[in-house]
């Protein structure tokens, strides 16, 4: 699930004409464009390409063969009122022409992820609860909140958008599903135990097992490259006041994501430990291809809630490194399966508006 911050930045384009002797060759133009989105300090990005041009676009995930991506968008220019799922080839961009929608177009969707056959994907949707977009909550007493819609269930669909299976049928929230790189398991967040916990299941929906059990919102989980570990975000209330506030909001179908840390555990829930202790919101974690580091988004250096930037940290909690250096919003980093590219969502170079776009960067360690 994603809720994006409105931030400011303006990109200026030069309209100067070049003399014939100074003309930039097509190859040089392409290279200049690919590097124009990269800030000088961002040494891990060799080149960068903008993929979308409007709306809120996020949670883009690669197919197992790295040839396609699936992502969610609420771009009003595409006739959308709330998030739906879209399919794209890895080398495409979308400005005036929208990509094909592969969700039902009903309800609200979240967190689509390819299955190993590259012909199907899983995603969360509220469409069984109604055709209309469920109402988004307002801030509560100035506090930022996320909705936990009870009508979310997890479905399987083909690349034409036909639903071929339903993996969850329990009452209450089931969503945020991602698939192990080994192709055998799915991890998801569920309310079926009475709290927002992580669960795993086989890719056919069988053998559901609870992974976490401590009070608090556990979500946004991803498997390590070898499928043996999970990284996830969590808000773990400790004081009586925090616990009461968490439970009261949850009873209304809400969570407050302003204070979250990252946790790591084995895929069965054993050896659970807190990875970060930075303060503010640390979230959208994803394993580095080595399996030894975590890339994530955080505003822990911010005084007023923003900016959000990408950071990297070893799985033992050491060697924290800042990866992006924007003044707006960078989040949802996802490595391609071959480890050569990173797709993420950003407010960078959006003309100072509300749009959050997808960018694909060539990664270098």
Identify whether 56 is part of a domain. yes
pLDDT of 239 strictly over 50:
yes
Spell out the long-range contacts of 346-353 with Cβ–Cβ below 8 A and sequence spacing 24 or more: 347/4, 347/5, 347/6, 347/7, 347/9, 348/9, 348/37, 349/9, 349/11, 349/36, 349/37, 349/50, 350/9, 351/10, 351/11, 352/8, 352/9, 352/10
Residue 252, domain member (yes or no):
yes
> Please, which residues have CB within 8 angstroms of residue 181's CB and are 6 or more apart in sequence?
64, 223, 224, 225, 226, 227, 337
272 domain residue, yes or no: yes
CB atoms within 10 A of CB 206: 8
Query: Which residues are bridge partners to 283 per DSSP?
Result: 297
- Which DSSP symbol is given to 283? E
* Number of domains the chain contains: 1
- Residue with the larger pLDDT of the pair 35 and 201: 201
Q: Which pLDDT value is given to residue 95?
A: 83
Q: Hey, how many other C-beta atoms are within 10 angstroms of the C-beta on 232?
A: 25
**What's the gap between Cα 119 and its chain centre?**
21
pLDDT tens-digit profile of 68-103?
999 999 999 999 999 999 999 999 999 878 999 999
Q: What is the pLDDT of residue 249?
A: 94
pLDDT in tens, 159-177: 999 999 999 999 999 999 9
pLDDT for residue 205: 97
Residue 303 has what pLDDT? 83
At 139, the pLDDT band (50, 70, 90 cuts) reads low
Q: How far apart are CA 114 and CA 346, in angstroms?
A: 22
Q: What is the pLDDT of residue 17?
A: 24
Q: Bigger pLDDT: 266 or 139?
A: 266
Residue 329 domain-assigned (yes or no) = yes
Count CB atoms within 10 A of the CB of residue 325. 15
What is the pTM (predicted TM-score) of this model? Answer: 0.90
- Residue 163 included in any domain: yes
Q: Which domain holds residue 233?
A: 31-363
pLDDT category of residue 34 using cuts at 50, 70 and 90: low
> Does some domain include residue 16?
no
Does any domain span residue 18?
Answer: no
Quick one: CA dihedral 36, 42, 43, 47, positive or negative? Answer: negative
Residue 13 in any domain: the answer is no
Q: Examine the pLDDT at 4 and tell me if it is beyond 50.
A: no
| Partner residues linked to 47 by β-bridges | 362
The CA distance from 67 to 114, in Å, is 11
CATH number of the domain within which 290 lies = 2.120.10.30
pLDDT of residue 110: 96
68-73: strand order across its sheet? 57-62, 68-73, 84-89
Return all residues near 299 (Cβ < 8 A) that are at least 6 apart. 280, 281, 305, 306, 307, 308, 309
Contact status, residue 310 vs residue 297, Cβ threshold 8 Å: yes
Instruction: Return the closest-CA partner of residue 149 out of 138, 161, 137.
Output: 137
DSSP 244-269: HHHHHHHHTTEE-TTSBEEEEEETTS
| H or E element that contains 146 | strand 146-147
Residues 52/73, Cβ–Cβ less than 8 Å: yes
pLDDT at residue 27 is higher than 80:
no
- Partners of 49 in the beta sheet? 360
């Amino acid at each position: 699930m994603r809720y994006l911050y409105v931030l400011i930045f303006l990109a200026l384009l030069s309209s100067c004409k070049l003399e014939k002797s100074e003309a930039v060759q097509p190859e040089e133009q392409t290279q200049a464009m690919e590097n124009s989105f990269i800030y000088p300090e961002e040494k891990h990005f060799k080149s960068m390409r903008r993929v979308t041009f409007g709306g809120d676009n996020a949670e883009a995930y690669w197919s197992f063969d790295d040839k396609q991506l699936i992502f969610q968008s609420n771009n009003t220019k595409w006739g959308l009122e709330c998030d739906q799922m879209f399919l794209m080839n890895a080398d495409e961009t979308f400005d005036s022409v929208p990509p094909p929608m592969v969700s039902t177009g009903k309800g609200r969707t979240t967190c689509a992820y390819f299955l190993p056959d590259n012909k199907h994907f899983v995603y969360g949707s509220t469409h069984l609860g109604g055709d209309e977009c469920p109402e988004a909550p307002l801030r509560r007493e100035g506090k930022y909140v996320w909705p936990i819609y009870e009508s979310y269930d997890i479905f399987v669909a083909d690349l034409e958008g036909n639903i071929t299976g339903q993996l969850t049928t329990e009452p209450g929230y089931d969503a945020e599903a991602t698939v192990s790189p080994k192709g055998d398991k799915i991890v998801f967040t569920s309310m079926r135990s009475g709290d927002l916990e992580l669960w795993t299941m086989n890719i056919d929906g069988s053998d559901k097992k609870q992974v976490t059990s401590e009070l608090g919102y556990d979500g946004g989980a991803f498997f390590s490259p070898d499928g043996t570990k999970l990284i996830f975000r969590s808000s773990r209330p400790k004081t009586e006041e925090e616990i009461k506030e968490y439970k009261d909001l949850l009873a209304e179908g809400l969570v407050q994501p302003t204070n979250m840390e990252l946790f790591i555990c084995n895929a069965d829930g054993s050896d659970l430990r807190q990875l970060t202790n930075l303060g503010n919101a640390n979230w959208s974690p994803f394993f580095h291809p080595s399996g030894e580091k975590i890339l994530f988004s955080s505003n822990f250096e911010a005084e007023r809630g923003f900016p959000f930037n990408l950071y990297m940290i070893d799985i033992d909690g050491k060697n924290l490194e800042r990866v992006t250096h924007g003044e707006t919003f960078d989040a949802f980093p996802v490595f391609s399966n071959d480890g050569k590219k990173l797709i993420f969502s950003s407010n960078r170079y959006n003309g100072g508006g509300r749009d959050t776009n997808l960018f694909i960067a060539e990664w270098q360690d």
